[in-house]
Amino acid sequence: MPLDGGPPIDLSYLDAHKVDYIHSALGKDDITYTFWVTYSFHCFAKEYVGQSAEEKDALMYYAGKDQRPFCYRRHALAKSYLRQIVEKLGNSDVRVIHAGFGSYATAPVVDESGNKVWYFVPFKVYRSQRKFRLHVTSAYPLLEKPGGGKVGFFTLAHNLKTGRALPTENHCRL
């Protein structure tokens, strides 16, 4: 994807892919949950207050009926961290929280300036065509650790598998 006549920008790191999450518990057989992962263009696009019309036009990314200016900061963070965070959702170093609107996840990362930031990765999980789906709806840096009740990723996976409702904000550990 070239911007304003520049060289193409590789977005292949956001291609759909499959992730096998293995839930291990002492004294029990491992359980594998296979998710098909997709990403929204909001992971690398953002309109900022103060951008001129010319800047917006030069950076505009079109995704079907929607459009937003390309954001180099979001792109750099997504390229460096997004896939590895998604692949580690079942690990303790990724804090999965209830973020409202049925979305979950956050992890500390180091940005392009060497600053520690919280990388907020809201995602939705659901079943479609008998497959587990995980759709990352956005991804962006936060300066402060976000609040929200903690949710075990394997609780989400188990509830999907058994047809139970996903945890709501009222049913999360703080």
- Domain of residue 110: give its range: 18-171
Would you say residue 5 lies in a domain?
no
Would you say residue 9 lies in a domain?
no
Would you say residue 3 lies in a domain?
no
Give residue 2's pLDDT. Answer: 47
pLDDT of 161 strictly over 70: yes
pLDDT digits (tens, 9 = 90+) for 75-96: 999 999 999 999 999 998 888 9
pLDDT digits (tens, 9 = 90+) for 42-79: 999 998 888 888 888 888 888 888 889 899 999 999 99
Would you say residue 8 lies in a domain?
no
The residue with greater pLDDT, 39 or 25, is 39
Instruction: Determine the residue type at 3.
Output: L
Instruction: Determine the residue type at 54.
Output: E
- Can you tell me the distance from the alpha carbon of 73 to that of 79, in angstroms, rounded to the nearest whole number? 10
Instruction: Please state the domain count of the chain.
Output: 1
Closest CA to 118 of 144, 87, 81: 144
User: What is the pTM assigned to this prediction?
Assistant: 0.87
pLDDT digits (tens, 9 = 90+) for 125-141: 999 999 999 999 999 99
